[in-house]
């Protein structure tokens, strides 16, 4: 074991002197085509470090054109087994130039640490001191099995700048970095950046970072900002593919966990013309993801001309997926400048943004919350292939895109990701890719989607027009699926120019609907689809009698879990569905296996409200059910008070008392039927409400109810006694 200058393996070590390692041909350490060309194994309880090329001198240093790969490090004991490809510990006045180096071979797991020790680190390039210039390096196919460190001690990192000198990172490609640990609080980072007062991070491409963990403290970061005064421009970052766990925690002002395109933790920063895409499908977990995750509260931070897309979707997971998160407690927070960006969120679980401890639904609400961003747009930027194995975040040449000519000129951004001069194309294209793209006539989607006048079969939807209202009105799409419509999806309906609402009919009852709206400028030019909004139709009233409910079709039980279209309103306790058998503490069912019960000490009334019934004026109806306040067949009980109400809405407000069901002094020996004959004076929809309380002194464990029934009253009465 051993670390730094005492490390057990250093392929090339410079202790002093002005050196150039690698020139036209460079050096090859290990193999670029096979794994295990160099193996190091330890059984120590302390850390071992394995290094490709290490400089511990004081002079300027150049490392160009070197290849390092095919290296496996391991430890059979508890000590970490760490790897560094290029590492420099010279002075903060010296320079280090590293260009065209390749760390990691062309095969999977080319560089790997197999130990699960918490202190494990795999780091391709580490700069601890000098003024650094890192250009056109490729870092790929590295894997780690352990490590729970954060920041510069993260489990696996592409390039780490851990100094206070100025650094320039340009045109580096970092991909296929993986942590295979399934439970540890691991951090996987493409670029971990800190530096001095004049840094540039530009034209880098980061993708394919993965983690197998389910930890709520884990992170994946494209670029993690840890300090310095830095301009981040023309970078492309695509993350999320191959990551099925929604690890990390829910969004909060200070949370850095989850998947982050940019993790804006510290620093004085300018983020200009970056293109970010978060994708993949989350099948478990509840952690969030962000195209940009900002946790700073006061430092200067400037966002202009960026494309932030989060298309990550849930299929079993419950996390939220944000285009952007910014810290602040009120509009125009200290240090913030934000404008001329393009945002898009399209997956299940997608949320536009997060600000001041709360989700923000759409662009309009975002602009109001942050007090800025007036010229930003919402829509699909038309990346060419963001979800491909090698993502392509360039912009499609002919598809109408909101990035075309909608940004603002920034003097220091003269070229794009490919090095093309922006002034020779469209100078103010948003994102890392500049070109002469196709501008949509409808650049902005409608915002402020809402619904009203919802019935069992109809609803009215409304929206707010974009700043430039479309000449041909709007198209809307309505679905019971949360899957967002594509550009070519046939709309459900259209409206005329100036009409910002639509009446929906022939809907299914008791069903959740999703809807989207886009502006219609002409036959071929539409805005992007808006963010989605939802509504749920009401239950259709029961109109066929007799009607009955014995709860025996239920398979899921719990507090206020009731059959479709019933409603439980909790007081101190909740009406609870159950299949608990009769015992010394439970009443059991009247028939079948299932029933509903209310617990003792329910001092504030709880309501059990039936579905709606379509009743005719002047017709008599018999409403009945069975109740029991005893806990066994031969034991009487009391302490429960129950009353029957009726209402024209499924609520307690405005309900009319029909009669008393049971009082606290009444005991029952087994189930007792309660029946009430009701004749409405006018036709309509009515709801019956059993409202009950119980004391904590004399009440038995539970009051059970079962076998509800509503039927037309018979023409003649049944015999009273037989």
Residue 681 forms part of a structural domain? yes
Same domain for 468 and 567, yes or no, is no
pLDDT at 526 > cutoff 60? yes
> pLDDT of 471-483, one tens digit each?
889 999 999 999 8
Structural domain contains residue 601? yes
- Cis peptide bond upstream of 546, omega within 30: yes
> What's the pLDDT at 697?
65
Residue 248 has pLDDT above 90, yes or no: yes
Is the pLDDT confidence value at 635 over 70?
no
Q: Is residue 4 part of a domain?
A: no
Which of these three, 511, 536, 561, is where a domain ends?
A: 536
Would residue 561 count as lying in a domain?
A: yes
Q: Which domain holds residue 638?
A: 547-712
pLDDT of residue 636: 42
167-170 and 122-127 strand pairing: unpaired
pLDDT at 411 > cutoff 60: yes
Kindly state whether residues 520 and 636 are assigned to the same domain: no
Q: Which of 93-107, 300-314, 333-347, 658-672 has the lowest mean pLDDT?
A: 658-672
* Same structural domain, 689 and 586: yes
490 lies in the same domain as 570: no
Amino acid 634: pLDDT: 37
Query: 561 and 485 share a domain?
Result: no
Residue 194, both tokens:
């800190």
**516 lies in the same domain as 564:** no
What would the DSSP string read from start to end of 373-405? -TT-EES---EEETTSSS-EEEEPSSSB-TTTT
In the 3-class helix/strand/coil scheme, how is 102-113 assigned residue by residue?
EECCCCCCCEEE
Q: How many C-beta atoms surround the C-beta of residue 25 within 10 A?
A: 9
Average pLDDT (541-556) is 96
Count of the separate structural domains present in the chain: 2
Model pLDDT, residue 454: 93
Same domain, 511 and 457: yes
pLDDT, average across residues 373-388: 93
Domain boundary among 536, 565, 582: 536
Return d(Cα 513, Cα 507) in angstroms, integer: 9
* 658, 696: one domain: yes
Q: Is 360 a member of any domain?
A: no
- For residues 600 and 698, membership in a common domain is answered with yes
Does one domain contain both 605 and 568?
A: yes
Q: Mean pLDDT, to the nearest integer, of 578-597?
A: 91
DSSP 360: E
Residues 529 and 633 in one domain: no
Confidence of residue 440 (pLDDT cuts 50, 70, 90): confident
Distance CA 201, CA 159 (A): 11
pLDDT band, residue 632 (cuts 50/70/90): very low
Q: What is the pLDDT of residues 664-717, one digit of tens each?
A: 776 666 899 999 999 999 999 999 999 999 886 666 788 999 999 999 999 876
For residue 419 the two structure tokens come to 């090095």
- CATH code of 476's domain: 2.60.40.10
Last residue of a domain, one of 510, 536, 562: 536
In a domain, 269, yes or no: no
In a domain, 661, yes or no: yes
649-657 long-range contacts, Cβ below 8 Å, gap at least 24? 649/687, 650/567, 650/609, 650/612, 650/687, 651/609, 652/569, 652/607, 652/689, 652/691, 655/689
Mean pLDDT of 15-43: 94
- One domain, residues 512 and 653: no
For residue 720, pLDDT over 80 is answered with: no
Confirm whether 691 is domain-assigned.
yes
Q: Please determine, for residue 612, whether its predicted confidence score (pLDDT) is greater than 50.
A: yes
Is the separation of the CB atoms in 336 and 296 below 8 Å? no
Mean pLDDT of 100-109: 98
Q: Is the predicted pLDDT of residue 633 greater than 60, yes or no?
A: no
For residue 182, give the nearest of 213, 209, 215 by alpha carbon. Answer: 213
CATH classification at residue 666: 2.60.120.200
């Amino acid at each position: 074991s051993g670390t730094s200058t005492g490390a057990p393996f250093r392929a090339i070590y410079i202790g002093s002197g002005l050196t150039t390692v690698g020139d036209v041909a460079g050096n090859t350490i290990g193999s670029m085509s096979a794994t295990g060309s160099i193996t190091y194994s330890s059984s120590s309880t302390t850390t071992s470090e394995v290094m490709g090329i290490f400089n511990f001198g004081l002079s300027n240093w150049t490392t160009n054109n070197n290849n390092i790969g095919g290296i496996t490090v391991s430890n059979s004991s508890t000590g970490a087994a760490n790897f560094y490809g290029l590492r420099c510990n010279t002075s903060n006045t010296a320079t280090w130039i590293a260009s065209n180096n390749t760390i990691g071979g062309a095969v999977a797991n080319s560089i790997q640490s197999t130990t699960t020790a918490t202190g494990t680190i795999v780091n391709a390039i580490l700069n601890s001191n000098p003024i650094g210039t890192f250009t056109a390096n490729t870092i790929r196919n590295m894997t780690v099995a352990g490590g729970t460190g954060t920041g510069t001690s993260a489990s696996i990192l592409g390039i780490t700048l851990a100094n206070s000198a100025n650094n320039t990172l340009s045109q580096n490609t970092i991909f296929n970095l993986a942590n295979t640990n399934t439970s540890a609080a691991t951090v996987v980072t493409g670029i971990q950046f800190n530096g001095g007062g004049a840094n540039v991070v530009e034209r880098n491409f980061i993708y394919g970072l993965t983690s197998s963990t389910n930890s709520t403290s884990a992170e994946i970061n494209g670029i993690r900002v840890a300090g310095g005064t830095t301009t981040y421009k023309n970078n492309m970052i695509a993350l999320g593919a191959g990551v099925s766990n929604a690890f990390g925690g829910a969004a909060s002002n200070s949370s850095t966990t989850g998947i982050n395109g940019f993790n804006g933790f510290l620093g004085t920063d300018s983020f200009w013309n970056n293109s970010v895409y978060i994708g993949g499908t989350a099948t478990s977990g509840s952690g969030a993801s962000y195209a940009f995750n900002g946790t700073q509260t006061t430092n200067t931070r400037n966002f202009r001309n960026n494309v932030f897309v989060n298309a990550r979707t849930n299929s079993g997971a419950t996390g939220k997926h944000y285009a952007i998160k910014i810290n602040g407690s009120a509009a125009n927070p200290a240090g913030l400048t934000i404008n001329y960006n393009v945002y898009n969120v399209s997956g299940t679980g997608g949320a536009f943004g997060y600000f001041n401890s709360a989700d923000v639904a759409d662009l309009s609400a975002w602009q109001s919350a942050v007090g800025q961003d007036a010229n930003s747009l919402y829509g699909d930027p038309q990346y060419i292939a963001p979800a491909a194995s090698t993502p392509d975040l360039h912009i499609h040449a002919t598809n109408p895109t909101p990035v075309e000519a909608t940004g603002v000129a920034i003097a220091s951004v003269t070229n794009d990701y490919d090095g093309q001069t922006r002034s020779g194309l469209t100078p103010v294209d948003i994102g890392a890719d500049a070109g002469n793209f196709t501008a949509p006539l409808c650049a902005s989607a409608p915002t402020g989607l809402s619904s009203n006048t919802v019935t069992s079969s109809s609803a009215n939807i409304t929206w707010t027009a974009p700043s430039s209202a479309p000449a041909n009105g709007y198209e809307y799409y309505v679905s019971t699926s949360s899957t967002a419509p594509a550009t070519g999806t046939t709309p459900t309906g259209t409206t005329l120019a100036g009409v910002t609402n639509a009446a929906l009919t022939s809907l299914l009852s008791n069903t959740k609907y999703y809807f989207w709206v886009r502006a219609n400028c002409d036959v071929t030019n539409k805005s992007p689809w808006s963010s989605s909004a939802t509504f749920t139709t009401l239950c259709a009233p029961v109109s066929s009698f007799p009607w009955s409910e014995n709860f025996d079709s239920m398979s899921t039980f719990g507090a206020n879990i009731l059959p479709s279209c019933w409603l439980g309103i909790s007081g101190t306790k909740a009406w609870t569905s159950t299949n608990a058998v009769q015992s010394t503490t439970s009443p059991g069912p009247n028939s079948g296996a299932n029933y509903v019960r209310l617990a003792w000490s329910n001092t504030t009334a709880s309501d059990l409200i039936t579905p709606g019934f379509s009743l005719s004026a002047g017709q008599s109806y018999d409403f009945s059910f069975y109740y029991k306040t005893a806990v066994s067949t031969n034991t009487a009980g009391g302490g429960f008070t129950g009353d029957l109400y009726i209402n024209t809405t499924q609520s307690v407000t405005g309900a009319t008392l029909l009669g008393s069901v049971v009082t606290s002094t009444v005991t029952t020996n087994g189930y007792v039927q309660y029946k009430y004959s009701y004749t409405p004076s006018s036709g309509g929809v009515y709801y019956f409400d059993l409202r009950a309380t119980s004391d904590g002194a004399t009440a038995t464990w539970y009051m059970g109810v079962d076998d509800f029934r509503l039927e037309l009253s018979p023409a003649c009465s049944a015999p009273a006694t037989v």
